[in-house]
Structure 1
Amino acid sequence: MNRESYLRIASSQKTRTENYAEGVQEYYNLATPGYLGGWGTSFHLPPFHDGQTLAEALVAQERLLAQDGGFHAGMKILDVGCGIGGPAMEVAKHSGAHVTGVNITAMQIEIARVQAERRGMGDRCTFVEGDAMNLSFADNTFDATMSFDALCHVPDRRVAYAEIARVTKPGGVFIGFDWFCGEGLGAEEYDRLIEPVCRTFMLPSLISLSELREHLTAVGFQVDSARSGGEIGDMTPVWDIFDRAAENSLPPGMSDRETFAFEMLCESFVATSKAAREGAFLVGYWKSRLPM
């Protein structure tokens, strides 16, 4: 996809929604090398606790989710929007469960498979190309489902949540972190602060935590908890990292495509830090379960 086509898709909520699969795949084709270089193999935004490095905060967040989800050996866990597999491998290693990761971006699935074999996790993790809006698994396949900062990319959360409910066994937990907008934002505030985040990260739109509760309940989940990541730890170090990254100079010798990706990421970091510091953007956590 050329730059002009990408920018056309990214330009509005309507075009991002209508072309979300194509847009998300190209976004991660562009952004994954930068994420690998600056963030590691786990592409999510963690709450920090005193003295943690980014790598430590990421691992702690993944282990917290596995613990809260009650994951253990013998369980089959689905990771929706698995990226290049970092969270899936850490959760499998920490809990003893088998984790199947699904992701719409073929390039990331290939990286995840290579990483799993390299880390000796090939028998503990499976990675499958697929769409959260239309999962290829049979009903009641998984004991639990998790997701890290990924479902914000789908154009209809309720459809994705319904698919997750379908493939999760009765009594199973659906738990995760994702990106949300603040409660009660007016149209002007949403357009000023949230739309730049959505445009630069190729997100159709963002919902609030109260809308998350409504959508999960509508498809059959009982919501135990839905809260801001700021209630779990300190999110400020994430925005500080974004601000520093956005100040980096363009490295020499980059191709036009690499330059575009670098500039896009810098713009997205500025937009997200601004929205978060003004209270319009947040990383949220939820834990829900299906009735028996």
Structure 2
Amino acid sequence: MTDDPSVRHTAPSSPDTGPVHDEQTETADGTAVDGNIHVGYWDSADDDRSLNQATDRLTDLVAERLATAPGQRLLDVGCGTGRPALRIARATGARVSGISVSDEDIDLARTRADAAALAGRVDFRYADACALPFDAASFDGAWAIECLMHISDRTAALTEIARTLRPGSPLVVTDVLLRAPVTGDAAETVRQTCRAFRSPGFPGPVELRTALDRAGLETVEFNDIGEHVRRTYQAFADAFDGVRPTPGDPHYEFFTSTRSLPRFGALPEVGYVFLVARRR
């Protein structure tokens, strides 16, 4: 196998999102979201889950679609600080490899794995989604939670992920979705959000479906669950309220404004995709 955890770092072919995640680590690893750097899922308007519980709920929905058996091997593309990987490994008995372009996230994820006594089944390493350090057909399933929005060539990333999957294995993708083009003030809000998260642009439905097909992946489910995750943006704004990035950082104003994330999340053009695909 070529998946040596000591793989040498190379410049990622996707935008360098490491510093963005590092800036968010203080909040993401705190009690507000407890290591989850992704949206939460609420079943209905009456669902009273906390943000912490709702983010775990999204992870559980991903795990359900993976339908994993104990001992199988899974890939977490864009693992963050490791909570989803550890949660899925614990619930399913699977072995999980997580990758990220943030050294700080990887360090935190490894610390979490040690604390959970799961280091023997869950490993984390620095790697680029467009150049994965794994042999072909290494995994029984994979997921990418809010990873593709940071990558310019999504077809290349999906092709690389598909390469590492065994035929018939599932890939679950959840991500911000731009339902329709935006203009005027809405377009500026989207541009500001893209800059803050170092995204080249949020994908649309046609782009994602085309990229999946070109990558040799068959789409099994393609759902826009935007209304189930929308309250996340205000909840995260509240969680970030006491966190102050370095004033010289280009994202300072965005992350210290309690209005920026909610304004973006309220746009009707902003959805959230939950898709399942299989390697042909």
- Asked if these proteins are the same fold (TM beyond 0.5), I'd say yes
1:27 counterpart residue number: 20
2:224 counterpart residue number: 228
Q: Contact 1:133–1:160 (CA<8 Å) still a contact in 2? A: yes
5+ unaligned residues in a row in structure 1: which ranges?
A: 1-16
Q: 1:159 aligns with which of 147, 153, 156?
A: 156
- Amino acid corresponding to residue 222 of structure 1 in structure 2: E
Q: Contact 1:104–1:131 (CA<8 Å) still a contact in 2? A: yes
1:219 counterpart residue number: 215
- Amino acid corresponding to residue 118 of structure 2 in structure 1: M
1:282 counterpart residue number: 271
Q: Contact 2:137–2:167 (CA<8 Å) still a contact in 1? A: yes
1:192 equivalent to 2:188? Answer yes
1:106 equivalent to 2:103? Answer yes
Q: How many residues matched?
A: 264
What percentage of residue pairs aligned between the two structures are identical?
A: 23
1:64 equivalent to 2:53? Answer no
Q: Per-residue deviation at 1:176? A: 2.3
DSSP-derived class of the 1:283 partner: strand
5+ unaligned residues in a row in structure 2: which ranges?
A: 1-11
Q: Distance in 2 between matches of 1:273 and 1:139?
A: 41
Scaled by the length of structure 1, the TM-score of the pair is: 0.82
Scaled by the length of structure 2, the TM-score of the pair is: 0.86
Partner deviation per Cα, 1:224-282 (whole Å, 9 max, x = no partner): 11121236xx3232133145456x4x67xx7x727857644234x63332233121222
Sort the Cα spacing of 1:167 and 1:190 in 2 relative to 1 into closer, same or farther, 3 A. farther
Q: Distance in 2 between matches of 1:119 and 1:127?
A: 14
- Amino acid corresponding to residue 45 of structure 1 in structure 2: V
Q: Distance in 2 between matches of 1:158 and 1:19?
A: 12
Superposed CA RMSD: 2.4
Partner deviation per Cα, 1:35-80 (whole Å, 9 max, x = no partner): 2233221111021131211222122221111111211212100000
Q: Distance in 1 between matches of 2:264 and 2:125?
A: 33
DSSP-derived class of the 1:142 partner: coil
DSSP-derived class of the 2:219 partner: strand
Q: Per-residue deviation at 1:201? A: 1.3
Q: Contact 2:129–2:160 (CA<8 Å) still a contact in 1? A: yes
Sort the Cα spacing of 1:187 and 1:51 in 2 relative to 1 into closer, same or farther, 3 A. closer
Q: Per-residue deviation at 1:169? A: 0.9
1:265 equivalent to 2:255? Answer yes
Q: Contact 2:86–2:118 (CA<8 Å) still a contact in 1? A: yes
* Structure that is richer in helix per residue: 1
2:203 counterpart residue number: 207
